[in-house]
Structures are given as structure tokens and as C-alpha cells.
Chain A
Amino acid sequence: MSGKKWRVILDNENTAFHNMATDEAIMRLLPENKIPTVRLYAWKPAAVSIGYFQSLPEEVDVSQCEKQGVGVVRRVTGGGAVFHEHELTYSIALPEKGVVPQNILESYAKICNAVVLGLAGLGLNCRFVPLNDIAVNGKKISGNAQTRRNGVILQHGTVLLKVDVEKMFSLLKVPNEKLKGKLIEDVKQRVTSVEKELGKNVSFAECQKAMQKGFAENFGVELEEGGLLENEMALAEKIAKEKFSGKDWNYKR
């Protein structure tokens, strides 16, 4: 660890393949580049990501995604299917030792607290709900997922700016079509967004700024704005093409 300066990448909208490849490239090159990094990004086109252990045809209506121009990708992290549209996604790549607890559950709490602080900056009183959620007024506003490889922790997660449950369920498969209406109502009761809670629209840039502050405060570091290094860019491009946009990976399970 190189003292108290980390990198923040204030990214914009990228495709699902590019986003997942960039997170992985930063993680894989961290032992070499040695720069703890926070990346704050969005998705264009909107996309569904599924967890490492999920079956794509089981969870996602792929033809509906194609029709609606929605991307589909498998993550390197576990957890459930997520529809990424009006949201901010963060990723953080850190050495496994020295910054957050070795214990996985405790490390989720530590990293998620950065998101809680970020959301507090927007005026929301949120709390971490183990294992991997953040809630406000009892409703989920953020989901998070972590992996550890070669001494590096990568955690990424979402902050919902707006939520469109109907659109989400037009893209995801449900166990029982007859119960779809009820399921949509249930999710509407359980999930919220920044806009819903504050009663006003918050821009991506505003949220990005708040998250940047939240991460800096949570880890007691200065976050210096930067971009991807050349080796990260090259690796991200390679794995976007060879891994994340490929059937072998996305239909792996």
C-alpha cells in the first residue's frame, strides 16, 4: 500500500462487456500496478448482469433483451441478476491484506460503509444489511458483490438512482409466470431509489461526487482522479472481446 493516495476513475457510460472487463483488468493488474482504485461508472446500453453461479437461460429472457437493446453479461462475482439502467455502479480494487478485514462478511461491511457515507452526502440515512445489501427505510437501494483473486479484493455494487421494476421483469425470467404480477408488487415494496427517497431527481454526476467523498472518508484516503493505465486498457479490451462478450463465459453455467 502506497500511503494515503488512491485513484478514482470518474467513468461514464460503457457497455456491459467493457464495464466487467475493466473491473477485472484493474483487479488482475493491481499486484503489478499497486494502485488501489475506485471506479464510478454507468451502463450504456442498459444491461442485465448475472451472478457467477447463475444460469443465463434460467434467469434472463435473452431474446427480450435483444429486442429492447439491453446488454447481457455474467459477472466474476456471485449474487443475483441485476438490471443496470438508471444507476451508479462502483467498483473498488484493493490488496486483500491491510485495508479491510480478512473476514469476508466484515469486509463487505467495511466497503459498503463507503456507499452508506456517500448516500448520506445526498441526504439519505442508509444502513448496511448483511450479507450484501444497503437499505434505506427498510428498502434495498444498493446491492454489492465481492471476489478475491491473487491477493486482491474486487467489490462492485449498484446505487439505484431510479427504478423501473416493470422493465426489469420484462427482461428477467420468473419461476412462475402466473405470479409475476405479485412478484413485481413485492419487489416494488422491497426496492427503492435515490429519486424515490429524496422526491427529486439526482444526476449521475452529483451521485458520483457524493460517492467519491464517501469512499475517501470511509478509507481515510485522498482519491486522485485518474484514468486507466495503458496495461489496464489493453487487458480490458482483450478480455472484453475474448471473455465477456463470448458465449463460453456468458453461458458457462
Chain B
Amino acid sequence: MQGKSVFKVPQGKLLKVFLDFEPAANRIISVKITGDFFLHPENGIELVEKNLKGKSIEEAESVIALAVKENDLQFFGADPASIALAIKMASENAKGGE
């Protein structure tokens, strides 16, 4: 099931998340995190997306935070909590059949 969310991070940038999600198993099949935020180094985003595969929606924030910590990533205009929230919103939109 696929879902999308658009979330303006308070005092930050605009996130658009595209999620492929397995609701029965509460499992992320794949996720694409897009938006006008900044991340140093940039290719850290692909790493974050890879690490989210197979995880539950509830695990998303800690998975992103761990990737940030282990790889010395720096987000500007977004953070693990706001991205996790956008992922959750995308999963809810998917459930709603949007």
C-alpha cells in the first residue's frame, strides 16, 4: 500500500514523503524522503532510507536518529522526529486509501 504525506516542519522546511507500506505487518517496504531541507553529507539520505526498510512506523524515529548519530549526519530544516511524523502521516494516508 502506498501513501504520501506533505508536512511543513515548524520553523523548518517542507517534507514530502512517499511510502510503500505493508499495514498488516506494520512494515516499511520502502520510503523516499524528499523536500527542500538540507542534509550534510547529502548522500546520507539514501542511507537513512535504506535503514528504514523493513522497520515499523513506530521504529522510524529511532532508526533515523541512529543513522544520524553513527554517520555524523546533520539535518537543517528537518530532524528525525519531523521525518518520522511525516512517515507516520504517509502510512495513515495509505491506510485511508488516498
Interface, chain A (partner B; CB < 8 A):
51-55, 58, 76-81, 104-105, 131-132, 145-149, 175, 253
Contacts and interface: CB of A to CB of B under 8 A. Distances in A.
B76 A131 contact: yes
A54 B36 CA distance: 6
Interface stretch (B27-35, B54-62, B63-71): B27-35
Contact of B36 (A79, A105, A146, A148): A79
Nearest to A75: B42
B25 to A, nearest CB: 26
Contacts of A81: 36
Contacts, number: 54
Nearest to B4: A58
User: Which size bracket describes the interface of B in this complex?
Assistant: 20 to 34
Contact of A104 (B6, B34, B40): B40
16 contacts: A53-B33, A53-B34, A54-B35, A55-B16, A55-B18, A55-B32, A55-B34, A77-B38, A78-B76, A79-B38, A131-B38, A131-B76, A132-B38, A145-B38, A147-B40, A148-B41
A200 B77 CA distance: 35
Interface of B: 6, 13-14, 16, 18, 32-42, 45, 74, 76-77
Contacts of B35: 51, 53-54
A56 to B, nearest CB: 10
A79 B78 CA distance: 11
Q: Which applies to chain B's interface (DSSP): helix, strand, loop or mixed? A: strand
Contacts of A79: 36, 38
B39 A78 contact: yes
A78 B38 CA distance: 5
Given A55-B16, A175-B6, A253 B32 contact: yes
* Candidate in B35, B45, B74 with the most chain A CB atoms within 10 angstroms: B35
B42 A52 contact: yes
Given A55-B16, A131-B76, A131-B77, A80 B36 contact: yes
Nearest to A103: B74
Contacts of B32: 55, 253
Contacts of B76: 78, 104-105, 131
Q: Which applies to chain A's interface (DSSP): helix, strand, loop or mixed? A: loop
B42 A53 contact: yes
A78 B36 contact: yes
Contacts of B38: 77-79, 131-132, 145-146
Given A51-B35, A53-B39, 9 more contacts: A51-B36, A54-B36, A76-B42, A78-B36, A80-B36, A105-B76, A131-B76, A146-B38, A149-B41
A104 B76 CA distance: 10
B40 A53 contact: no
A112 B87 CA distance: 33
